[in-house]
Amino acid sequence: MTEIHPLRLRAFIAQVDTTGGIEACWPWRGFIDDEGYGLFRGVGAHRMAYELMGRPIPDGLIIDHRCHNVDTTCPGGTDCRHRRCVNPAHLEPVTRGENVLRSQHTMPHQNAAKTHCPNGHEYTAENTYSRQRSGGIARRECRACRRERSRIEARESRAAARRTQSAA
């Protein structure tokens, strides 16, 4: 489990929308990756939320969203608004196989018809590239998001370098 510094915890909490109340979904207000998951410093925000509760994620397991599994109206795929939920009460570690079974009520194939990425950038020819995924499936990815992601990563590695210097 990752060691969590109080400043890191504060930065995390600042990006969580808990206005829906204790039982509602807590949408991530920070960066959303191409798959629709919240991203906190390169790590899935929902995974981070689970670990913040002091519960390490067992090896090889992924974090499943219970709120998604009970919502039969969810279109699934990157349109799923549960993916960005970081309410620890909605999160549960499962195997990949279980995760797929539980998501069978959704319709991921609808994603091909989508016109915008999860961050609202339009999928134009210029803004889209296709990336080969494991399993041989090519999928669309958003260039604007990729730029944004590398900007965030560059900023964080500079910040990390500064921290190392000041600690020396």
> Binding residues for Zn ion, per CB under 5 A?
25, 67-68, 74, 80, 82, 85, 87, 90, 117, 119, 121, 142, 144-145
Which uninterrupted H or E stretch holds 62?
strand 62-65
Q: At its nearest, how many Å lie between Zn ion and the CB of residue 110?
A: 12
Q: How many CB atoms lie within 10 A of CB 18?
A: 13
Evaluate the CA torsion angle 68, 72, 75, 77 in order and state its sign: positive
Between 45 and 117, whose beta carbon lies closer to Zn ion?
A: 117
Nearer to Zn ion, 56 or 120 (CB): 120
Which residue number, 25 or 63, has a Cβ lying nearer to Zn ion?
Answer: 25
Nearest distance in Å: CB 40, Zn ion = 16
Range list of H helices, 22-142? 45-52, 66-69, 96-102
Residue type, 77: G
Whether 92 contacts 63, CB under 8 Å: yes
Whichever of 13 and 160 has its CB closer to Zn ion, that residue is 13
State the burial class of residue 32 (Cβ atoms within 10 Å of its Cβ: 0-12, 13-18, 19+): buried
Question: Closest separation between CB of residue 106 and Zn ion, Å?
Answer: 7
**Least distance CB 30 / Zn ion (angstroms):** 14
Residue 79 contacts residue 114 (beta carbons within 8 Å): yes
The least CB distance from residue 101 to Zn ion, in Å, is 15
Nearer to Zn ion, 16 or 74 (CB): 74
